[in-house]
Structure 1
């Protein structure tokens, strides 16, 4: 069961060092303004954050990416197109952001290791590592002894299970879609992952399964990431995210619909509006306090 930060570091460094950097490279914001495009990483099967629907990508992460697109259009004074860039794995997406080849990715769980290579925006969700388990299994380390546990390769969940469940075997899958398919076809009976991801997809792959344990193995904020040292793009992204969260808090009908369809009442995740508003309020208050300090 080996999920190492060194593997991620090596992948990112090899990708980044393989790209020739001009002496005075334009910033991502300058490139977006010049090309009229903001490129965003997307993963299929990664609801509630992103998934392919026909020829488009949808999800909670895409709602915030669209808000960033709008903010960029307003700032540059020209139409900016949001262009999905599909990737096949978490590492591929992070490497594309770290190298500056892609501008944005929304739906990334925070870790200090990843923050060495990319810059995080304000978070728009809070999640943590849990599992889909068969009925009667509470998902605790003791209940997972001798079990094979599926997880997405290089995910925060894979790392948490590796460190915590010493008597289980980790089966790693290249991407979220492959991990979900493995649970659906019975290749694994346990699947570890982001709690919101598990809740959003359980009905399609294991409707009788539990999401457990009650207390997650870890917790992590979820937001967008941009290439390092691009304060212009980071600042505009934070502004866009804050505006959408504030609109939700203020009961704006469009904001309520956009967020609720993925994580709110009646969705597969089924969080209450009060819970979502409380989290958004805490994020905005924390950001305000940090700016005052």
Structure 2
């Protein structure tokens, strides 16, 4: 009798034990155990992360994640291997959410919707949605300069604007100009080719990424212009990492605010005179604006 009771109690405890939820391992615990930090990198987000002629990843975000990696080694007081894993526009957030990668620092705009599934760091870069057009069309298509007469003409012949699905241009910006002829792109590379061949009037995307695409294809920047001069929306980029990783987030944020990033890396990549991709840093007031807030009230032009 006692033996049966013991066996029954053991079986019950074993069954209940199987049903108890396991405590999720944090990123820092996993990295400390495995000795490997896995980071996600895009191949098409110049100048943040891209594949160079030697098929190696480079870019500002690649170096930012390498800086985070070095500071992580100091934190854990042991050598850690950094492993680069390609991610795409489509799977970048799911790769972080399911733990395939521990970190992605790229052209990833901070939005309330995205914060439901992943954590964001503090912003490390601010850009905004602009239209890339051919220089000869810049004045005619600039939505902040168009006249009433030109508006009537544009409304009759809708401006064709290309965009990439799954981006904030698609979800937040496209509805502002519902009368435009919106055309889906597979990539900014495709968009620049179609713009050059006069198949579309403009490409809508983050200004810095459009500049990067021109550089990637070796095109003459003087043949194109970003309009309007002040972006139509503002986008704060942040690193993304799995939820419930407070200490990991603190390390990422402290790296972003360090002088190694804000001075050394920034000047190397974005200094207005010496950087590889000269870019005007936005003011604090501008950077704090919502990504979906237009620069000023405007009517739908297209």
What are the within-5 Å matches in structure 2 for residues 1-293 of structure 1? 23-53=22-52, 54-87=54-87, 89-107=88-106, 108-135=108-135, 136-137=137-138, 138-140=141-143, 146-180=158-192, 182-183=194-195, 187-203=199-215, 204-205=218-219, 207=221, 208-244=223-259, 248=263, 255=264, 258-264=265-271, 265-267=273-275, 269-271=277-279, 275=281
Give the whole-Å Cα distance in 1 for the aligned partners of 2:194 and 2:276. 20
User: In the comparison of the two structures, how many residue pairs are matched?
Assistant: 249
> 1:178/1:224 Cα in 2 relative to 1: closer, same or farther (>3 Å)?
farther
Structure 2 unmatched runs, 5+: 1-20, 289-302
Give the whole-Å Cα distance in 2 for the aligned partners of 1:118 and 1:210. 35
Matched residue of 2:90: which SS? helix
Moved more, 154-163 or 263-272: 263-272
Give the whole-Å Cα distance in 1 for the aligned partners of 2:74 and 2:66. 12
Residue in structure 1 matched with residue 3 of structure 2 by the alignment: none
Structure 1 unmatched runs, 5+: 1-21, 249-254, 284-293
The one-character-per-residue Cα deviations of 1:94-129 (angstroms, maximum 9, x if unpaired) are: 110122221111122111111111111121111111
Q: What root-mean-square deviation, in Å, do the aligned CA atoms of Structure 1 and Structure 2 show?
A: 2.8
Q: TM-score, normalised by structure 1?
A: 0.75
The one-character-per-residue Cα deviations of 1:42-99 (angstroms, maximum 9, x if unpaired) are: 1112112111122321111112111110111111111122222112x31211110122
> 1:96/1:111 Cα in 2 relative to 1: closer, same or farther (>3 Å)?
same
> 1:215/1:271 Cα in 2 relative to 1: closer, same or farther (>3 Å)?
closer
Give the whole-Å Cα distance in 2 for the aligned partners of 1:223 and 1:106. 7
Moved more, 196-205 or 136-145: 136-145
- Please state which structure has a larger fraction of its residues in strand: 1
Q: TM-score, normalised by structure 2?
A: 0.73
> 1:64/1:268 Cα in 2 relative to 1: closer, same or farther (>3 Å)?
closer
Cα shift at 1:170:
2.2
Please say which structure displays the higher CA radius of gyration: 2
Cα shift at 1:259:
2.5
**Deviation beyond 3 Å, 4+ runs, structure 1:** 141-145, 174-189, 203-206, 244-247, 266-269
Q: Is the 8 A contact 2:45 2:209 kept in 1?
A: yes
> 1:229/1:266 Cα in 2 relative to 1: closer, same or farther (>3 Å)?
same
Moved more, 45-54 or 130-139: 130-139
Matched residue of 1:67: which SS? helix
Give the whole-Å Cα distance in 1 for the aligned partners of 2:189 and 2:82. 23
